[in-house]
Structure 1
Amino acid sequence: MSVFSKFFIKKSSVQQKMLISFLCLAVLPLGLFGYISLTITKRTIEQQAGEAKLTSLGQISQKLEIMASDLTAISNIYFSNEDLRSLLLSPVGNQAYQERAKSQFLTKLIVTYRYAYTWLEYYTSIFGFNGFELHTFYNASKIGVDAIKSEPWYPEALQKNGSILWASDPSAKLLPTINEDHYVSVMRLLKDFENDKALGLLMINVGESFLYKQYASATQQDERMLLLDDKGIIISAADKSQLGMSMEDQPYFKELVGENAAGHFSVKENGRPMLVTYHKVESTGWTIVCYTPLDTLLKNIDRAEWYTLAVFAFLLLLSVAVSYVIARRLSIPIRKLFNSMKRVEMGDLTVRSMVKGNDEIGELAQNFNRMVGRIEALRDQVIEEQELKRRTELQNLQSQINTHFLYNTLASIRSMLITEPWEKVDSVIVSLVKLLKKTLSAESEYIAIAEEVENLRNYVHIQEARQYEKLHVEFDIDEQIYPYSTLKLLLQPLVENAIFHGIEPKQGPGTIVIKGWMQEGRIHFLIADDGIGFPAVPPSAPEGGLQLAESPATAGTLSPADAAQGPKAPGVPVTEQFVPEGHDAILKAQLEAPAGGMGLRNVLNRMRLHFGEAAALELRRRPGGGTEAHLVWPVFIRAEELKHT
């Protein structure tokens, strides 16, 4: 075994190893070939049986066509008989005349022609609209033409206007005239040829027992046949309990009533495979259906199939045993390399594959080890650079609370000590302390939106105290977004820009509206002011890819009521242009003036760094004065969730 291991496991290529394994499994194609051969044989037998059964059904269909033709011929005799026309034209209520004429008519015509078609078993019923009524072999109380007119098929008979209409079980009131529970009828209107007036209704009825005789002798062992009318109702069957049932709920019903005049297919009936053949009777719209068990047809094939399966099972076990030995030898180095890759996938970059060899797998293991080493070095380098960048980023943000801001705030507090109540002074000092504590702390750059809004409220409270009555800030934040996270000090630069570049240069007081909401899996913040805005300039592309653009907003000032309504308010239009049309994952930022550059570029760069293409930033000028900033970033609570955005 050691020689085999040395020359087979280490020296041969993977392709050669797989080729030897496939040769050992050559029995599988042979088994597949046997299976396909048996399947083809089964289908051939099924096809031949179906064709033979269709021939038999065709003969039954011809018999039913002859029956329909003879019944039509009999109806023509009645339809054109002058004596019958006279009876139907006799005055209403002349019972004595009608009885005498009916007796003569039965003797002269009905009995005579009935024995002319001795092979048929049918019963005739005639209903005159003048009250005349005649039934062969029935002389009890009248049924009445009004009872017939109430049947659902009667309007169709009138519409036929003398043409043939076939119906199954048309009226339970006629059962005494037939002495059977189920029957079919050929019916037509009787008319006066001189004025085309309808005189009555002719019904020639055939019992189900006669229909069953037409195909009973053609049924073989375990077979069963059904006769369906044009609506899928069973009008004849060996099992009389099925009479009157509908086949419409069967999954193959559409196949039976389709355009094909004949055909066959396979189905399962109560878990047993059946060959279903059908043939239509064109003149009546009926369909004769035959169910033949496939296990009866394929009895000999099934026996040969068992022999084939036994041989195949033996060869399969033999091939599996041989293949197992070879595959085990092949899979050892591959599995080792696979396990090493799984450990790398779980984050362990210290793993190295111990697979040795001169074939493709050995070379792959060596390349894998070199690749993991490079990835580990790059990871350490990226971690170091990201940590340095994060520290620099936080330092830049924290430097925004500069000495000039502190000096002005403390000077404002000093002046307020003289002019304002101590409660107001105390609230400003508390806000300053909270703001400095949050801003200067070394905690993670990700904080809850609730904390970011609270920091922003402290900052705004200080600015409102410094600006006195000149500045008014309104918050409209959906509390549902508070638990989600954002970047620390993401909103403050935009509010600061709105105060110093929008409200302070403006004559008179100004308003800033800060609105936050969640829409389609993203967090939205809108910061709108009614300050001086930025000049209308053509779109440009200054350093950093930042652009200036003019909003399509309606001119006018920003009222607090308009601003509070959010992005769809008439005074603060926020449209789909916040995100570029056709690609809503591209970052887009527009500055209101070069003077506002550093703080806003910082916001833009941070969003690009942390959110990638899943975020958007846009600044727009309002023609009537004012600026609006719209920020969008993905919804997340933990930083790990950003990997899926």
Structure 2
Amino acid sequence: MKKKQRQHQLSFRQKLILTSIACLVIPTIGMLYITNSYSKLIIREHSLEKSTQSLMIVQSQINAVFEEMVSVSNFVHFDPEIKNLLEDAKTNPVSARTLTSRLEQVAGETADLRITLLDRDGNAYSDYSFYDFDPRDFTREGWFTRLEQLSPYDTLFMGAEANYLTSQPDKPYVFMTARALREGTDTGPYAYLIVSRSEASIREHFGSLEEDVYLLNGAHHILSNRNEALIGSSFNTVIPVDEPVYPDIVEFNHENQLLLSLPLKYADWSLVSVAPYEQLTERLNGINRTGLLLQAIFAISFLFALTYLLRRFTKPVLILGKVARRVEAGDLMVRSKIRGRDEIGSLGHSFDEMLDRIQLMLKQVELEQQLKRQAEIAMLQAQINPHFLFNVLSSIRLRLLMKQDEENAFIVGSLSSLLRASFSSQEEFVSISHELESAKQYMELMRFTMRYPTESVVNADVDLLLELVPRFILQPVIENAYKHGFARGGGRILISIEKINTVLRIRVEDNGTGMEEDTLNILLLHIKQQDAALENLKTAESADDKIPSHGIGLVNVYQRLKLIYGDSFTMNIESINGCRTTVELILPYRETGGH
């Protein structure tokens, strides 16, 4: 039954080949679809960018035309010579002729630039002949009354106006700017200035473009275009769109048209370009279709090559599968013997190495089981020996009491209690009460062995006696005080334990001989180095030789608490030579049993 199921199941090679084909075909189809979509988007953006650049060139050129007209208006407005000539020309014909020449100089070599000055008294001056047009007729135009309403220095722009010069029948339209000339912001105009240029000067910038460009006013009426017949008509008659959005692609005359608009610097006029979208993108679309076809051909070719190579490269996997089934059956002596510089060869070599290590590990486990049994026997023996020692010490203490030697009996009892606490408890943490009791017993023993009299004082908050701390953190500090602080005379040890905010402070202070400054600095430096030494066991072992004799116990306590609490633990040491030594342990405060 299992064999039939295996026959119907796909092999690893078949799964790998089918998966590889699926991983190639599905992303390829998605990639071709996304590439085609993005290519169309890129082509659209490219066409839009190209048309925008062309329109921006025309925009700058037309802005330059209007800027020249504004510059001429500003020059005439602020030229003191022209103002003086305008005032003198009212009574002096020579000044009038000089003013006319001055206007011709301002117009310069621009052939279709015309300048007209009208003063308040009805006198007119221009750079063209009065036979072509009487400038005083400007006062009858509807726009002339609007000049009075303009703010000082503002300019009125007018486009697609009928050409007022009869000598230019080939230029039927002109663009004009008009301004009321004032001496100040609060005074009335002393003259009116009209500057004009022919519409042809605008239209000539449209001739070299592939796009059809329109100059529109704020009401979307055409002010300039290649086709003069469209000037003055609404843009909606050309592109029947109620509210055109720029940029946009609209269908008109069965063709897609690309619409683009840019504002002009002056007035509320804008440039609009209309271009057949298919003509702009025909070449790029052809390149895109050719690229998609080549990608499809390459993908199919790669698919066949991939199938062949996968069948060839995965053949050693069959061998590894057979070897794995034999190992599953319990034959650990079989080896694949597949070698090579590629990953399959490395896998075969690693598989054989793994089998070798498994055999070695099995032997090691067998040896460890033997050692474990031996360790259990040794542990039983280690438990028997301390009990025998406790019984002997209890018998000695009883005999001393029977002889009424209470002092020595108390010392033997303290020793027995201290040894019992050391051997019997296997817990890493004990209560503060238990730790203080062990410290008191140790201090009684040390007081018995010391040559000079010593005493001890313990101050601990009753609420903290049940809090847990690591075992034997006080005994090395107390031992250091007895061995080094009281070596030359007696003294007193003060132990205080208190809670400060979120930390527990344990303080051991003796009034012994203290440490010299050099010794203290070496000890503090060594303690600081333990943070790095704890990360490197070899460094920590080699650093022990450099510890001063005063600080071996302190360094051991620091290393142990640092391993338990990490950065939450701090040790502070203060010592005054010949006066005192204080060791302060700062531990994180936790609730009872939190350790």
TM range (shorter): 0.3 to 0.5
Higher gyration radius (CA) = 2
Q: State the TM-score, normalized to the length of structure 1.
A: 0.41
Q: State the TM-score, normalized to the length of structure 2.
A: 0.44
